[in-house]
Amino acid sequence: MSWKFLSWRVEGYWFFGCVLIALAVAAVMVFRQDKYGRMSLPGMRITLAYYRTRRRTRELRYRIEAFCLQHLRVGRNGDSGSYLMLGNSQAGYSARQAITSYSRALSLDPMNSHAYHLRGDQWRALGELEKSEADLRRASELDPDSAKTIRCLGQTLDLQGRRDAAREQFTRAMEMNPNLVDAYLRRADIFACSYGEDSWQAAAADYLKAVELDHRCARAYRGLFLLGIKGRNRDMADKYFKLARKYGQTFYDDEIWRYENAQWGYTVVMCNDSH
C-alpha cells in the first residue's frame, strides 16, 4: 500500500468525520428546546412532517385491515360482531364508513348497546351532536351500568354548550367508576372555564384527583398550569408546566404535543413578562 493511497484514505476519513460532526451539531441546533419547551421553526416543521407521514401510514394500515375484514369475514358471515370489527377499523380513517358498519350491526342486533355507543362517538367526530346524543342515550338505556357511555354522553353535551348537563353526566360517571380519570379531567375543564375562585378551586381538586389516579397524566398538569396562569401564580404555573412537558407524550399524540408545548411556552413567557 503506497503512502499516497494511505494519505488519501486518512483524509477521506477526516472529511467524513467532519461531515458527521457538522450534521450532529446542526441536528442539535434544529431540534433542541429552550427552557420553555419551544423548538426552532425548522425543527418543528421536520417533526410535524414526520408525524404526518406516520399518521398516513397508520391510516393506510386501517384501510388494508378494513378491506380484509370486509372481504374475508363480513362477506362470509355477516354477523353483528363482524360489522363491529369492520367499523372499528374504518373509524381510523373514515367516520362515515364506520357509521355505516355500525348501523348494519344494529340492523342485525338492535339491542347491542356497544354498537350504539361506537356510532354515537363517530357522530360526535362528524359534528352531528344531536345524533350522537340520541345514540349515546340509547346505549345508556340498554346498558345503564356503563360509566364510559355516560362520560361520552357528557362529552357530547359539553360540545353542545350544555355545560351544566355535561357536568352532571361526568359526576354520574365518576360515581359509577371512581377511577375514570377522563371524567375528572372533563369536569375540571368545565369548572376551569367558569369565573370565580370557587370554580377554580373545584377544577384544581378534580385535576389533582386525576393526578392521584395517574401521576403521568399530562392533561391534568396542563389544567393546573392554566389555573396558575389565571390566578397569576407564577410558581404554580412554572411547576405544573414542567410536569406537563415531562409527561406530555404519555397522553397526547406526539404531533399535537409538540405544537401545544410551544404554545404553552409562549403563554409562560407572556405571563412572566406581565409581572
- For domain 182-257+264-275, which architecture applies? Alpha Horseshoe (1.25)
Chain-centroid distance of CA 187 in Å reads 17
CA max distance for the chain: 87
Burial of 75: CB neighbours in 10 Å, binned 0-12, 13-18, 19+? exposed
Say whether pLDDT at 232 is over 80.
yes
What is the structure's pLDDT at 106? 93
User: One fold for both 124-177 and 182-257+264-275?
Assistant: yes
Domain parsing of the chain, residue ranges: 47-110, 124-177, 182-257+264-275
What is the structure's pLDDT at 190? 92
Q: What is the mean pLDDT of residues 13-38?
A: 64
Q: How far apart are CA 30 and CA 178, in angstroms?
A: 44
Contacts for 189 with CB less than 8 Å, ≥ 6 apart? 203, 223
Burial of 120: CB neighbours in 10 Å, binned 0-12, 13-18, 19+? buried
Q: What is the mean pLDDT of residues 150-168?
A: 93
Higher pLDDT, 273 or 146: 146
Higher pLDDT, 212 or 42: 212
For residue 113 the three cell numbers come to 348497546
Q: Which amino acid is at 102?
A: Y
Q: Which amino acid is at 100?
A: T
The model's pLDDT over 162-213, given as tens digits with 9 standing for 90+, comes to 999 999 999 999 999 999 999 999 999 999 888 778 888 999 999 999 999 9
Higher pLDDT, 18 or 75: 18
Length of the chain: 275
**Which of these, 268, 265, 179, lies nearest to 232 by C-alpha position?**
268
Higher pLDDT, 131 or 6: 131
Distances 199 to 82, 192, 195, 219 between C-alpha atoms, Å: 46, 6, 7, 18
What is the structure's pLDDT at 271? 41
What is the structure's pLDDT at 124? 94
Is the domain defined by 124-177 classed in CATH 3.30.460.80? Answer: no
